[in-house]
Structures are given as structure tokens and as C-alpha cells.
Amino acid sequence: MFELVVDNPYTLDVATRRPLAEAADVDRVLDAARAAARRYAETTVKDRVALCLAVVERMEAHAETIAADISRMMGKPLKQARGEVGGMAKRARYMASIAEATLADTALPPQEGFERRIARAPLGVVFNLPAWNYPLLTAVNVVIPAVLAGNAVVLKHSPRSPLCGEHFADAFRDAGAPAGLVQALHCDHEMAGRILADPRVDHVAFTGSVSGGHKVYAQAAASRFVDVGLELGGKDAAYVAADADFDKAVDGLVDGACYNAGQSCCAVERAYVHRSLYDRFVEAAVALMKNYRLGDPMSPETSLGPIAQPHHPLFIERQVEQAKAAGARVLFGGKRTQVDGKGRFFEPTVIVDVAPHLDVMRVETFGPVLPIVPVDSDEEALALMNDSDLGLTAAVYTKDRERAERMAKKLEVGTVYMNQCDTLDPALPWTGVKDSGKGSTLSSIGLLGLTRPKSINFKL
């Protein structure tokens, strides 16, 4: 039997081991999910809401264990991991609060002798592949809405964070969910590809890289008509206008670049600052970068944890080195490092004089690196912000709402922020354009996306 081994990004010791599923295991899981989906489709939305709320309470009761597992598996500082448990609960409760109204039948205008309405039917079995960087949030975006909509879920979490899939499955079991309704599965890429193409799967939801999204979409949709939701990467830009609240802009962009060690799809990876503020902004950003404390993610003093994936510090460093070779200047950071001889860290980094064609401006970095570029106008900022193959979020820092509104209409992204960044409101759909993905999660739109319309046309 093959085994999944996950290392601790700080100690580099083994964090956890899990056996990988073989073909017979997958068959049992998919058959159980199919049977559970058929039975569960007959339940009321009210009962599904009660189940999901009970699941949230059980996960909150184990918050310390879950947070510690996150820190051990992917290096997130424990304080931030605890915050992720809270964020997961907030999203789940919001989706539960809108489920009955969102999933209710839509009655059409009366027509004599007929009853006409649009019902929402479950899809069946949802195969969910969440990401490791926010292992609870990327999972809850699909798991809870899928169950609320009447589906069963097979949860194949990232091989970097397998225990999080188990935490969801255990919570559903302990809350009294029907057998097979939510199951955690650990398997290799080849086996995952077989599941993607399996006719027992009715919907696929993937959160991860652009390259991974292409592979998932090709495998799932190549030979059958199945919907695939893709939440992929970002190269998110922020613009600091001349009238911005300076301190809030600096705080927001530096935190947006460095929170979770920059390992966020909506991290700020490009900063465009009006030239009248540029020099002050760069100086202030460097000062804030110097305040980060790298170290043991279990320590309360640590504010920037290690990089989760073994290969990634070198990837980030190569982006920085390419930029330096082309004339860019690193004002702070820019290198792989360790703390007391431990871990795989990357220094928080400020880089300037960066040309728009360089990888650090075009390819997702997924690390604590902030390139800062001066601009002379809103129009120049807008053109540079849209000059990307990715389109997840964009932020505009200004005191002028009309400026933000004008730019929002032209920004080619799924979410536009004003005076904030790197955040998410579950009442709004989480969606991307271009290579940042397809489909939406969260909000009423995301919930409806895990159902199909069924027309009821009765002649009375």
C-alpha cells in the first residue's frame, strides 16, 4: 500500500502519514456517496441546515486541534490558523442562513389551469478538491453549500493538508449525517484523475493552481457533460490613488502581500502607487516589512510562518533574481532563509524598478513579495492592473467613491475592493475571470450552482 507523507515546514519532521486509496477503496467511497446522495435528496432544506449547523459546532469544539494540525501541515502561524477556524464557521453559518430562501421553488405568474414553478434539484455527488493554503476555507466554500443543496460530497483534500478533509468528514459523522454523505479520501494524482472521469461523480470543484485547473478540467469534462468549478490563481493588483488614506493603504497592502506568508490566491502581488505618494509609500512599506517575526508557527510571537511546499522558496527566489538581473532593486528581503537552522522561509520582500514583463509581475508568486510601481494617473494604473492573464481581485485605495466606481466598471476581475484587500464576504460570490477560473462559490449564486433547475409544469 502506498503512503502519503507530509512534512512539517518548520521542523521538517513528519507531520502526518496517511495510506493512499486503491481502486477498491475508491469504488466503495463512490458507491456509498451515490447511495447517500439518492437518499439525501429527499430531505428538507430545514433538516440540512440543522445538520450543517451541528457540524460547525463540532468543528468549533475541536478548534485547537484543527488549528494545530493546520500549523503542523502547512506552517500557518497558530493565531492565523485559529482565525481560519472562525472564518470557516462564519462562512458556513451564513450559507446556512440563506439556504431555505435561496433553494425555495420559484413560482411563476398564475395561468388558469396550470401550476408552473422552477424547483432546484441536487446534482448528486460532488467531488471537491480544496487547496492547502486555506485548508478549511477552500473546503467549506463547497462542502457546506453542497450538503445544503442536497448533495453528497467526496472530499479529496490537498496532499499538503489531508487532516483537514478528515476533520470535515468526522464532524459530519459525529453530527449524525447519513453514512457516505461526506467522506474524506486520500489518493494520488492518477487515482484522482480516474475519479474525475467517473460517471458516479456529478460535479467537480477544484481550488488550486492554473496548471492544475487545466488538468482537472480536461480530465473531468473531456468525455462527458459535467460541470467543473475552478478557483485558480491570482496576480492581484492594488492601486493607491493620490487622495488615499496613506497609513491605511500601506498597512493594507503590506498585510495583503505577507499574510499567510503571501500564500493566498488573492494576495496583493502588484502595487501601483500614485507618484505623488510613491517615495513615502516605499519607505513606509519597507519599515512595516521589518516588523515581521519569522519563526516557529506554534509560537505567539511569529507573524510570518514558513513556506508550505518544499520546492517553492527556490521558485520565489528565482523570480526575484530574474527581476534583479533586469535592473530591479530589492530594498528589503529577497532571499530564502531559515530561523535557528530550521524551516523553509522566504524573507518579506519589497522590490522596485520592476518592468511589467518580468515573472514577478506576471506569474503568481505565492510568497511575501511586494513589487511597487509608480503611476501618474488612474488611467495608467487601470491599464497596468488589467495587463494580466489572471483576474481574481483588485483593490483601489481612495477617498473618492466615484473614482473607485469608475475603475470597478473597467477592472477585469471577479471582485473589486475599495480601501481593503485580501478578504472575502460570503454574501458575495467568489469568482474569477481569465485564467483565475470559472464558476462561483459562496453567496446565493454559489449555492444555486450546486443544484440544477427542474421545471414543474402541471396541467390541473
Catalytic residue numbers? 231, 265
Cα dihedral 240, 441, 21, 14 sign? positive
Amino acid making up residue 91: R
Amino acid making up residue 150: G
Measured in residues, the chain has a length of 460
Q: Is the Cβ–Cβ distance between 367 and 261 less than 8 Å?
A: yes
Amino acid making up residue 365: T
* DSSP run (H or E) holding 7: strand 3-7
Q: Is the Cβ–Cβ distance between 274 and 398 less than 8 Å?
A: no
Q: For residue 200, which of 45, 38, 19, 20 has the smallest C-alpha distance?
A: 38
User: How many Cβ atoms are within 10 Å of 93's Cβ, its own excluded?
Assistant: 15
In whole angstroms, give the CA distance from residue 97 to residue 405: 30
In whole angstroms, give the CA distance from residue 128 to residue 153: 7
Q: Is the Cβ–Cβ distance between 310 and 344 less than 8 Å?
A: yes
Say how many Å lie between the first and final Cα of the chain, rounded: 60
Q: Is the Cβ–Cβ distance between 143 and 154 less than 8 Å?
A: no
Write the CB contacts of 349 (distance below 8 Å, at least 6 apart in sequence).
289, 320, 330, 332, 333, 334, 367, 368, 369, 370
Q: What is the 3-state secondary structure (H, E, C) of 84-102?
A: HHHHHHHHHHHHHHHHHHH
Phi, psi (5° rounding) for residue 402?
Answer: -65, -35
Distances (CA, A) of 339 to 254, 255, 290, 314, 343: 22, 21, 15, 17, 7
Q: For residue 173, which of 266, 58, 39 has the smallest C-alpha distance?
A: 58
